[in-house]
Amino acid sequence: MQRMVIQRILIGFVTLWVVSVLVFLMTNALPGDVAQIVLGQSATPESLAAYRAERGLDQPLLFQYFGWLGNMLSGDLGISKAGGATISSLIGERLKNTMVMAGIVALISVPLSVGLGLMAAMYPGTWIDKSLTFGTLALISVPEFFIATFMVLIFAVQLGWLPSVARVSAEQSYYDWWRSMAMPLLVLVIVVAAQMIRMTRAGILNVMNSPYIEMAILKGVRRKRIILRHAFFNTIGPIVNVIALNLAYLVSGVVIVETIFAYPGLAKLMIDGVQTRDLPLVQACAMIFCATYVVLIILADVAAILANPRLRNPK
């Protein structure tokens, strides 16, 4: 098992490297460069040249890349080509924000969706199951910016219960903080849970046609126990994997929610980075996303191993 985990970690590093190359190549393929984007319409050839010199953009690409790689390895994320602020300072707080949001959403949605998924599996065909299946289906079937905006218009503009933007700051009171976070959290929980509920249900129902389930029935075990004890334990692997992927999404993919609720998170920063052609910034974000993904997947694998006696304690 250790061997397996270590192997995964090594593979993870390879993946990280591939990502860095990939992102580097892509960002360089983008039209226009930092200077042009930042100076925008009012850029003059001179000012562009000066800007590039100032930010070291006039050096050859490979040079830039390896420079970046070197710093990266020595833990230095470098300087934003756009703003000139250190990237760590740009990322620092946003990383925290992102993690906080992802964390809370996970804490709510994971138990919720696994619970509901199990419930749906427990009473298949009943109205609970039907409504859950259809509800989740409906939710994953509309663009999330639609859901988000819709809720803003209802809860913020029409009813005025909640603030429409998540402007969080240190001096806020807990109450205010929760109020301003309420809506983005809600939207994300909905979006993420829908997926996980479906997967949990599917996973459970898949093992339901295996002989040991029939055996349990023939032993007179209650359906509830069959699901929770016999089926669930054999489904943990895939379910955990789904959860991991959804968490990865929460860290890296929530740009729409962050934009709509003006929540200062990583995903939006990354998009800004791309739009300002801020190579080091994009690279840094990409690395973080990739790392999160890798770590989560490894955790998922470990969890799957632990849940599976065959792997946990071989003969």
Partner 1 sequence: MAELFEIDNLQIQARKEDGTPIPIVKGVSFKVKAGQVVALIGESGSGKSTISMATMAYCRPGLEFPGGEVRLHGEDVLSMDPQDQRELRGNKVAYLAQSAAATFNPAITIGEQVTEAAVLHGTLTQEEANKRAVELYHALELPDPERLGRRYPHQVSGGQLQRLMAAMALVSRPDLLVLDEPTTALDVTTQIEVLKAFKKVIQDEGSAAIYVTHDLAVVAQIADHIVVLYSGEVQEQGPVEQIINNPKHPYTKRLMAAVKPTPKAGMGELLSDQHDRDELNVEVKNMTAGYGGIVNGKPVITVLRDINVKIKNSHVVGVIGESGCGKSTLARVIAGLLPAAKGDVFLDGKKLERSLKNRSQEELQKIQFVYQMADTALNPRQVIGDILGRPLEFYRGIKGRERREEVAKLLDLVELPSDFESRYPSELSGGQKQRVNMARALAANPEIMLCDEVTSALDSIVSSNVIKLLKKLRDKTGVSFVFISHDLSTVGSFADEIVVLYAGRVVEQGPVDEVLAPPYHPYTRLLISSVPELRVGWLEDTMKKREMAVGIARGVEITDTGCPFYNRCPIAIDGTCDREVAPTREPSPDHFISCHRTMEEIKQIEENPQQILHGFEKPAPDGAKTVAT
Partner 2 sequence: MSDVTQGADAETDQDMSIYDELHDAPPKKRLKLSWTGKIGVVIVIFWIVIAVIGPWVAPYDQAAILDMDSYLPPGAEIDGGGTHWLGSDKNERDILSRVLWGARMTVGISVIATLMAYLMGVTAGIAAAVKRGWTDMILSRINDAILSLPTIMLGLLIVVALGSSIPILIGTAAIIYASSVYRIARAYGQEIMVMDYVESAQARGETIWWIIFREVLPNAAMPLATDFGLRLVFVVLFISSLSFLGLGIQPPNADWGSMVRGNLEAMQFAEGWGILAPIWPALAIASFTIAINLIVDDVSAESGGDLAKKMIS
Partner 3 sequence: MKNPKGDLPTIENLSVTDQQTIQTGLKRGATRREVMGWLVAAGATIAGAGSIVTSATKVMAMTPKKGGKITFASDLHGPNDTLDPGLNTSTIDYSRGRSFYNSLCQINDDLSTRPELAEEYSANADNTEWTFKLRKGVKFHDGSDFTADDVLYTMSRHYGEKSTSTAKPLVADVKEWKKIDSHTVKAILSGPNSDLPVILGTPQFKMIKDGTTEFQTANGTGPFRMKEFKPGVRSIGERNTHYWREGAHVDEIEITAITDKVARTSAFLSGDIDLMQALDPKAIRKVESTDGVGVWSVASGAYFGICAMTHTAPGNNPDFVKALQYIQRRKKIVKSILKGQGTVGNDHPINIAYGADHCAEMVQKEHDLDKAKFHLKKSGITSAELNVAEVAPGITDITLLMQREAGKIGLDLQIKKVPNDGYWGAVWMKTPLNVVTWNMRPTANVMINLAFAPDAPWNDTLWKSDKLGKILTEVRGVSDPAKRHEMYCEMQKLIAEGTDGAPGSGMVIPAHRNYVDGKSDKIEGIGRMPLGSLGGYEWPEFAWRTDV
Applying CB under 8 A, the residues found at the interface with partner 2 are: 11, 14-15, 18-19, 22-23, 26-27, 29-31, 133-134, 137-138, 140-146, 149-150, 153, 157, 199, 202-203, 205-206, 209, 237-238, 241-242, 245, 248-249, 252-253, 255-256, 259, 267, 270-271, 274-275, 286, 289-290, 293-294
Question: Euclidean distance between the first and final Cα of the chain, in Å?
Answer: 13
**Binding of residue 60 to partner 3 (CB under 8 A):** no
Q: Is the dihedral of CA 34, 38, 39, 42 positive or negative?
A: positive
Encoded tokens for 160: 């005025």
Helices (H), the chain: 2-29, 34-39, 45-55, 61-73, 87-122, 127-140, 144-151, 174-207, 211-218, 223-225, 232-252, 255-260, 266-275, 279-307, 309-312
**Binding of residue 29 to partner 3 (CB under 8 A):** no
Q: How far is CA 44 from CA 34, 55, 270, 276, in A?
A: 14, 16, 27, 17
- Binding segment for partner 3 (CB under 8 A), chosen from 11-19, 112-120, 213-221, 267-275, is 267-275
**Binding of residue 278 to partner 3 (CB under 8 A):** yes
**Binding of residue 42 to partner 3 (CB under 8 A):** yes
CB-nearer residue toward partner 2: 53 or 154: 154
**Minimum CB–partner distance for residue 195 and partner 1 (Å):** 24
**Minimum CB–partner distance for residue 122 and partner 1 (Å):** 15
Encoded tokens for 46: 């001179």
Which amino acid, one-letter code, is at 39?
L
**Binding of residue 288 to partner 3 (CB under 8 A):** no
Q: What are phi and psi for residue 203, nearest 5 degrees?
A: -55, -50
221 contact, one of partner 2, partner 3, partner 1, none, CB 5-8 Å limit per kind: partner 1
Query: What's the length of the chain?
Result: 315
Q: Do the Cβ atoms of 105 and 250 come closer than 8 Å?
A: yes
**Binding of residue 229 to partner 1 (CB under 8 A):** yes
**Binding of residue 234 to partner 1 (CB under 8 A):** yes
CB-nearer residue toward partner 3: 90 or 231: 90
Q: How many residues lie near partner 1 (CB under 8 A)?
A: 23
Which listed residue (104, 139, 217, 306) binds partner 1 by CB under 8 A?
217
Binding track over 87-116 against partner 3, x by CB under 8 A: ---x--xx----------------------
Which listed residue (57, 204, 216, 244) binds partner 1 by CB under 8 A?
216
Burial class (CB in 10 A: 0-12, 13-18, 19+), 242: buried
Any idea what the Cα angle at residue 217 is, between residues 211 and 219, rounded to 5°? 105
120-125: which pairs have CB atoms within 8 A and are 24 or more residues apart? Answer: 120/197, 120/200, 120/201, 121/200, 121/201, 121/204, 121/205, 121/208, 121/227, 121/231, 122/223, 122/224, 122/227, 124/205
Interacting residues with partner 1 (CB under 8 A): 210-212, 214-222, 225, 229-230, 233-234, 307-310, 313, 315
Interacting residues with partner 3 (CB under 8 A): 30-33, 36-47, 49-51, 53-54, 80, 82-85, 90, 93-94, 149, 152-153, 156-157, 160, 163-165, 167, 169, 259-262, 264, 268-269, 272-278, 281
